[in-house]
Copies of this chain bind each other. A is one copy, B any other.
Amino acid sequence: MSKITFLGAGSTVFAKNVLGDCMTVPTLQDFEFALYDIDHERLKDSEVMLKNMKKKLKSTGNIVAYTDRKEALRGAKYVINAIQVGGYDPSTIIDFEIPKKYGLRQTIADTVGIGGLFRSLRTIPVMMDFAKDMQEVCPDAWFLNYTNPMAALTGAMLRYTGIKTVGLCHSVQVCTDHLLKDLDMPTDNVQWKIAGINHMAWLLEVTRNGQDLYPEIKKRAKERQNTIHDDMVRYELMQRFGYYITESSEHNAEYHPYFIKKRYPELIDRFNIPIDKYLRRCVNQIEAWKAMREELVHNKELAHSRTGEYGSYIMEAMETNVPIKIGGNVMNTGGLISNLPEKACVEVPCLVDSSGVTPTHVGELPEQLAALNRTNINTQLLTIEAAMTSKKEHIYQAAMLDPHTSAELSIDDIVALCDDLIEAHGDWLPEYK
């Protein structure tokens, strides 16, 4: 019996989506779904829920919860990674509140920026441990990474472990439809091409029946900017740099030095920027979970229709050899995107079939897009450097190279802030020298 191992299976809703998807796929029927989480209560919840759903869906997969990680991984063919290290409390709170003392405001803090940096620093060591286990008990498994910060984590896995890894984010597949719907434009027969880095990949082409849609998109987007809406940062970036981005305004607000500026407090309203958004979202999710838990966990009639998440589609393609195309995060080896560094982890179209995940060659990005990507890659590469060398200086450098952090703070404040964050993290971080 083949095995799909889900690390972080206590994320009940996400486990429902990805494993529920799997239950709907004929070729994945005979798999064991191995659940693992360090939170045994949540693990139990997920197990119960999935077993209910399995019955409802008449799936024949075998659901097993493990409290021993290595046993969960043993013999796995696929490993889904959806963990969070440190949780909302204390880690996410730390990521937001300490920078705030220095006047550094954030929105999501899960990609780059000071929050993304520390999220990477506490997660990479855990993933290195996963890799060590996998080398021992399932060296040929595919590791499907859903955990953020995507580029730093996936890059570290690909550069420092031999584990076959791809990084996955739903921001690619929903990008074009989202944009067109927002602008009341038709979405059928639309062809698009997206490449860049995770959360800052570019809609390079968007055509309908062979016609370039960008002129109309930009015209409508410009009009839309006259009213307040939720995607103002992205539209502004598109107007200025010429291309639409995969990740939302609430994310992109903190990837650039342009939007959250002490010197221009009015920009927060002007671009409708939700400072501390992720903090509020976490609190809401925790509340929502309480409300939802009963209904989800013990609902014997729990239904599920296949979502758009890549996970089950990838495993299906690998099993059936019917190819699919995904936007995957992979090393830029050989210069898939020729004007980004080879050590960058890039998000490019990948072909998936029984031969695995094979990235395609993209070529050169328009210079301004490559330039914006490079400003974020700078931090990502230094973050990996810090995590793998355990040198504080690289933490400081990662932070100093972050466009938003360096725009807002002085070097002294950046260093003091990093020191505060290292201390506040306590045992959530390995020792730095």
Interface residues of A (CB under 8 A from B): 103, 140, 191-193, 205, 210, 236, 240-242, 256-258, 261-264, 267, 321, 323-325, 333-336, 338-339, 341-343, 349, 351, 353-355, 358-361, 363, 367-368, 370-372, 374-375, 377-379, 381-382, 385, 393-394, 396-397, 400-401, 403, 406-408, 410-411, 413
Contact = CB atoms under 8 A, between A and B. Distances in A.
Contacts of A262: 263
The 6 closest A-B pairs by CB, nearest first: A407-B407, A371-B378, A191-B354, A351-B351, A368-B397, A358-B360
A334 B377 CA distance: 21
A68 to B, nearest CB: 25
Contacts of A324: 323
A297 B378 CA distance: 51
Given A191-B353, A334-B334, A349-B358, 17 more contacts: A205-B355, A240-B400, A258-B406, A262-B263, A264-B413, A323-B324, A333-B363, A334-B336, A334-B361, A339-B343, A341-B374, A343-B367, A351-B360, A367-B382, A368-B394, A372-B401, A375-B375
A323 B321 contact: no
B240 A411 contact: yes
Given A323-B323, A406-B258, A358 B355 contact: no
Q: Assembly of this chain: how many copies?
A: 4
Contact of A378 (B336, B374, B379): B374
Contact of A361 (B240, B339, B360): B360
Contacts of A210: 140
Contact of A368 (B193, B349, B377, B382): B382
Contacts of A375: 374-375, 378, 401
A227 to B, nearest CB: 18
SS class, residues of chain A in contact with chain B: mixed
A361 B363 contact: no
Nearest to A385: B367
A358 B363 CA distance: 10
Contacts of A393: 240, 242
Contact of A191 (B339, B342, B355, B394): B355
B397 A240 contact: yes
Contact of A349 (B140, B192, B351): B351
A374 B400 CA distance: 14
A157 B338 CA distance: 22
A116 to B, nearest CB: 16
A339 B336 contact: no
Nearest to A415: B240
A77 to B, nearest CB: 8
A161 to B, nearest CB: 18
20 contacts: A103-B263, A205-B355, A241-B397, A258-B400, A263-B410, A323-B323, A325-B353, A335-B335, A341-B374, A343-B367, A359-B360, A360-B360, A361-B361, A371-B378, A371-B397, A374-B374, A374-B375, A375-B375, A403-B403, A406-B407
A360 B328 CA distance: 13
A258 B355 CA distance: 33
Contact of A408 (B241, B263, B336, B361): B263
A338 B374 CA distance: 15
A398 to B, nearest CB: 8
B325 A334 contact: no
A117 B393 CA distance: 32
Give the residue among A191, A263, A333, A335 with the most B Cβ atoms within 10 A.
A263
A370 B343 CA distance: 12
A334 B335 contact: yes
Contacts of A403: 257, 403, 406
Contacts of A381: 367, 371
A177 to B, nearest CB: 13
B361 A257 contact: no
